[in-house]
Structure 1
């Protein structure tokens, strides 16, 4: 006879905001940063999974924001240099 009872508990649910944070980190970096912090707070309170995804959303969001800012600064400096004749 086989034992059909299951004594383990179901795995913790994956936090939805952490998924949205990583996607948002690539599409709209500031959204990824903000949602990542909200997701981390929810994960801490509820015990859900997704800590790594939330952190990745924050990190990707910050990295892309810095890259976009540098591109903007370099473009502005290059535009000013070209318009002034250098």
Structure 2
């Protein structure tokens, strides 16, 4: 139960977290429409970007039939066995 113990310790002794800053992994790039930097001296804010609204839904295209993985595997196995038999037959004919 190490996971449960870890969760219990986190509940009992929570680590102090600075929730005012966003970690870089979750930060928005400056060209993102929702990017709005906070007021900092000497830094311009992002221009007002209108909401793009909902994207138009593309028409439904018929889905291309994709062969099953088992069928592909079986076909390749049969092809290999056929090639092996052909090679054995060719070697037997040339030997005679």
| Structure 1 length-normalised TM | 0.35
Comparing both chains, which one has the higher relative contact order based on Cα–Cα distances under 8 Å and sequence gaps of 6 or more? Answer: 1
More helix by share: 1
| Structure 2 length-normalised TM | 0.32
Structure with larger Rg? 2
